[in-house]
Amino acid sequence: MLQNGSVGFNIQEPLLRMRIGKNTFLRRGGWKYAKSLVRFYTYMYKIQFIGFPLYVTISLVRVAVALAPGKIREKFYLKLLRKSTNTY
Q: Region 3-22: what's the mean pLDDT?
A: 80
Q: Region 19-45: what's the mean pLDDT?
A: 87
Phi, psi of 53 (to 5 degrees): -60, -40
Q: Are 38 and 63 in contact (CB under 8 A)?
A: yes
Predicted pLDDT of residue 82: 66
Predicted pLDDT of residue 83: 62
d(CA 15, CA 69): 30
Q: Report if pTM > 0.75.
A: no
Question: Does 14 score more than 90 pLDDT?
Answer: no
For residue range 40-83, list pLDDT tens digits in order.
999 999 999 999 999 999 999 999 989 999 888 888 777 776 66
Q: What is the 3-state secondary structure (H, E, C) of 58-73?
A: HHHHHHHHHHCCHHHH
d(CA 75, CA 80): 8
Predicted pLDDT of residue 86: 54
